Amino acid sequence: MRKLFVIPFLFFSLTTMAACSEQDEPKPETEQPTTPDSPDNGKTLVVYFSAQGHTQAVAERIVELTGADVCRIEAAEPYAVNPYDDSDRIQNEAYNDLRPGVANLPDAETIAQYDTIFIGSPCWWSTVAPPVATFLAAHDFTGKTLIPFMTHEGSRMGRSEADIRRLCPGATVRSGVPVRGSDAAQADREIRQLVEAAGR
């Protein structure tokens, strides 16, 4: 598998450049990934938050398979390297539906470019990580297709799909795919299943 290189991907503003990234080297034509969502049916974006690298591994594989742009969400107040050390904070944010700051929140003009958005997160307290909830609540996704994927160590999707639908009432939210975090680097079958389902 070729290594994926990620650099800032949008050129519309300094804020956007800090927020999002894409591959810095175009793939040879024979290796260009294809997806039913691009290029004729609208642009595709992969947005994710990753605490320990598991969700990032899944997101990067989706990018390889689809050629999508990618944006990694960064918490304004970083979490502990081991999220279990921040369990009280995470539980409080999740259970009280709080919206912690995001250091690189994309602007509305950036999000407006995309018709299909993969949403990736670790499953924390049975839902998306709080910075992902902040991102979702900050934008109007009316008419867009959202495709969630969650990394977990037993909770699978939790209630994340229902919460995404609640936060994004105008969007079409597809059924997501859970990937066990410890197996993320070897989850090609599940990831391909997610990408294929996105085209139906």
**pLDDT 10s digits, 146-155:** 999 999 987 8
Region 6-18 average pLDDT: 36
Q: Is the pLDDT of residue 40 over 70?
A: no
pTM comes to: 0.78
Q: How far is CA 169 from CA 136, 162, 180, in A?
A: 11, 10, 28
- Tell how far CA 146 is from the center of its chain: 10
Q: Is the pLDDT of residue 28 over 50?
A: no
Distance CA 128, CA 151 (A): 10
Residue 119's contacts (CB-CB under 8 Å, 6 or more residues apart) are 47, 48, 128, 132, 136, 146, 147, 148, 149, 164
- CA-nearest of 192, 159, 200, 164 to 66 is 192
Dihedral of the alpha carbons of 54, 55, 59, 64, in degrees to the nearest 10: 10
- Check residue 23 and give its pLDDT: 40
For 139, the token pair is 């934008």
- Check residue 184 and give its pLDDT: 84
Local structure of 186: helix, strand or coil: helix
DSSP class of 25? S
Cis before residue 106, ω within 30 degrees of 0?
Answer: no
Distance CA 20, CA 26 (A): 17
Distance spanning both ends of the chain, measured CA to CA = 26
- Check residue 169 and give its pLDDT: 95
- The more confidently predicted of residues 33 and 131 is 131
